[in-house]
Amino acid sequence: MNTDSQKEPWRESLFNICASPATCCKGFFCTPCLFGTNAVKISNVSCCVYCCAYSILTSCLSCGLIHMRMRAKMREKYGLEEKPSDFLAACILSPLAVCQESREIMSREKTPNEKVRTSQPSESEIASTNNSSHTS
**97-101: average pLDDT:** 97
Domain boundaries along the sequence of the chain: 4-135
CA dist., res. 18 & res. 22, Å (int) = 9
pLDDT, tens only, 28-72: 999 999 999 999 999 999 999 999 999 999 988 899 999 999 999
CA dist., res. 22 & res. 50, Å (int) = 21
**71-89: average pLDDT:** 94
pTM for the model: 0.75
Strand partners, 8: 80
If we measure between CA atoms, which residue out of 96, 112, 117 comes closest to residue 20? 96
Give the model's pLDDT for residue 39.
Answer: 97
